[in-house]
Amino acid sequence: PCSASLPHWYNTSIMGLSLSSSLRIGLLSAAAGTAAGFSFGAAAASGVRRTASTGLRPASLAAQSSAAAVSFKDAGLCKKLDVPADLLEKVDVFIFDCDGVIWKGDSLIDKVPAVLAMLRAAGKKVFFVTNNSTKSRKGYLGKFKSLGLEETQPEEIFSSSFAAAAYLEQTKFKESGKKVYIIGEVGIEEELDMIGVPWIGGGSDAGKKIALKSGYALPHDSDVGAVIVGFDREINYHKIQYAQLCINENPGCEFIATNLDAVTHLTDAQEWAGNGAMAGAIKGCTGREPTLVDK
């Protein structure tokens, strides 16, 4: 299905590319096993001039209500790609999902190096986006290199851990003097360190247990102004309780999720429960919908 849309707040200069210059962009995702080619330009009211079919929404730095979004499908802008060569002729920029498209777990998908080499040789710009927040951009660069994709550049990589940090920068969170509580892994920690935003939780709360007894109340930091929930292989009841206390009891505390994916590709053998499980736990005990900073 064609599910791409442009939210009303969508940044018109992203990845260092001005969308007003009629860039022709292709999206490749595991979501629907399809590719899209479309171009942005100021001449069209929606910002979209041409599209094929897609299974991936454009990368975003922060997610808000989709009420004002422009759906490619509803606007009649989706066309099935019948001739693959047309994609190369009409598209200048290729945006790839990572999990299930470039790799599965730590296994590189067959023929990926050849495809990327062909695109680069043809002068195409290549970018990689991922909802997986377990690594920072620096961490993902290391993974690309370890898989033999040596030509990958740091500025070509956009992870949801980076998107969470970018959202806090856009909203001037640092100026509030507050800190962030993290349910997640080192990727979010490193990205927040890069922008100088203080945080607690994350890996330091792995393995913590709560001894429930009469009269016990888990103390929490009243200076937490945001809770970021990313994929966390060491999530526990302490983290869930701490997050709900911050969100429910700290005035103005924001609930941010790096994605709501039901499953993810941690290995090449099967699908694994995704961040929707972690974010769902916090949604369930707070009654709050998160601000999404996914791709």
Please give the positions annotated as active site: 92
Task: Report in angstroms the alpha-carbon separations of 275 from 59, 131, 261.
Answer: 17, 9, 6
- Please give the Cα distance from 184 to 279 (Å, whole number): 10
Cα angle 123, 147, 36; round to 5:
45
Q: What token pair was written down for 201?
A: 């939780």
CB atoms within 10 A of CB 118: 12
